A and B are shown apart, each in its own frame.
Chain A
């Protein structure tokens, strides 16, 4: 990342000494440079078939999470025990579940909780990772040592073990609790990535130049290091959202995630498992939806990372 930016970025601090307020010249050059990077990334993204597929899927699932009413007219909570465990039909596309609820609408409404947990955890982790990674990578020495050792320690605990222990003792678990516990055990990977990314630019000439010109740590981090180190982290954050959606479904399936009466894919999976042999479609539909959602986020993240990484350009 640093290699590509160095020429433009090196000019920047000089400009800012001439016009400390950030006059028209500075902002203009900056805009052009940013636009070209993003336009570059956008051009390579548009040509990537994986990006197209994942973007279509993401729009679909985000639509489902935000406006489930657009996809179904049925009320997922309207359940009639008399029509329990019906096979898919014209009336009930995915059949009905054990309680006799319309399964199609339940699966559609399940998107909201999964994606909510995914976004909350991804945003929370992103903030932690950027702050800790910047501080550790920029200041180095003992600050880095302390942050890195704590990161290593949390990293050593498999997230599923930690989450099981914590969530198991919580009496009532909603989106907030599950998201909180997932953040606690899953921040280290992204923080390590951010730290590595910061370290790879912190010794560049443009940072040295900015420091020589008297810029303070905050300015250097905000204006020079942050823009040049965020690329890989943004890509990973998208992949991470997918990982989290998978993790939430897993924890809920294991019985320590979301609880009834919440509508969630994980709950549908654990409810359907005993009926695997008799009513397999109860398992099949949530499996497909979780699978496609996670797939969409992870593939999208990979595509973004490749597009923002100048080394991967052909």
Chain B
């Protein structure tokens, strides 16, 4: 087990190197001189410009720049700084809590709603609740995040006034609508996944045996049926958590949350390459760690799986 974890942790290194390289290349491809943009309309002497370009390694070829960047991270945990001199770690520290809260609330909502809806739909197959879950999941999955976000804003924020429309000044309730927006598609997929997996499990021999032995229905479902049908659900939740960067850019813009997604968007517009690379690296790190946790969870859910 320990050896397995260590081996997996070592595999992180090339994954992170390659993905940061791709993002670095992407950001590097942006034309224009960020130093000139920094000066704006005011005149800037050549000497100052040269010094700044030197300081940010802008005159080096692409690969050298990239290696200097990685070297800074490895040796001094230096993620670089914005062209205004603010360290990227500082920005991440300030923005991370918002996105982390958003991700956590999203995770809780989609896991609870998706799994419960899936179980109930499977148990009451072809009855009203099942039909309701099927229709609503098809709708949820087929609507873009943008549309869901605006609809929630209009209905629950504006018409009913239950939750704040934008900003983060109202504590956890500020996060409810954005999290519901992020969770909508995944909740739909999760509910369908759990429903079909549980239906398969309930038809299987070991569940029939358990029922035949006289085990209580609830215990049969929780101990035998559900346990096996949760493995694909865990895989899905993991993959979904990992893809939150794209979603957070949209959701944080719609609901005006000062999180990492909004920062990535602003930094792309301001040509602040180091900030973009720093935040994306953080997400990639998050992605590989989540994947490892998911793989370890398999062992808990399915004792046949062993880690060598």
Contacts and interface: CB of A to CB of B under 8 A. Distances in A.
Contact of B150 (A157, A158, A269): A269
A212 interface: no
A153 B265 CA distance: 21
Nearest to A157: B22
A123 B139 CA distance: 25
B26 A298 contact: no
Interface residues of A, number: 37
Contact of B138 (A157, A162, A277, A299): A299
A259 B139 CA distance: 30
A153 B153 contact: no
B136 to A, nearest CB: 12
A283 B254 CA distance: 12
Contact of A287 (B147, B265, B276): B147
Interface residues of B, number: 38
A277 B153 CA distance: 10
A299 B142 contact: yes
Contacts of B138: 50, 299, 302
If over half of B's interface residues share one DSSP class (helix, strand or loop), that class is named, otherwise mixed; here it is helix
Interface string A215-255: 00000000000000000000000000011011101100110
Interface stretch (B28-36, B76-84, B233-241, B289-297): B28-36
Interface stretch (A20-28, A133-141, A289-297): A289-297
Contacts of B275: none
Interface stretch (B60-68, B88-96, B203-211, B243-251): B243-251
Contacts of B146: 246, 249-250, 253, 269, 287, 290
B174 interface: no
A118 B22 CA distance: 27
Given A250-B250, A276-B165, A280-B158, A164 B265 contact: yes
A245 B146 CA distance: 11
Contacts of A298: 141-142
10 contacts: A160-B246, A162-B26, A165-B268, A246-B147, A254-B250, A269-B146, A269-B150, A276-B165, A290-B144, A291-B151
Interface of B: 18-19, 22-23, 26-27, 29-32, 138-139, 141-147, 150-151, 153-154, 158, 165, 243, 245-246, 249-250, 253-254, 264-265, 268-269, 276, 280
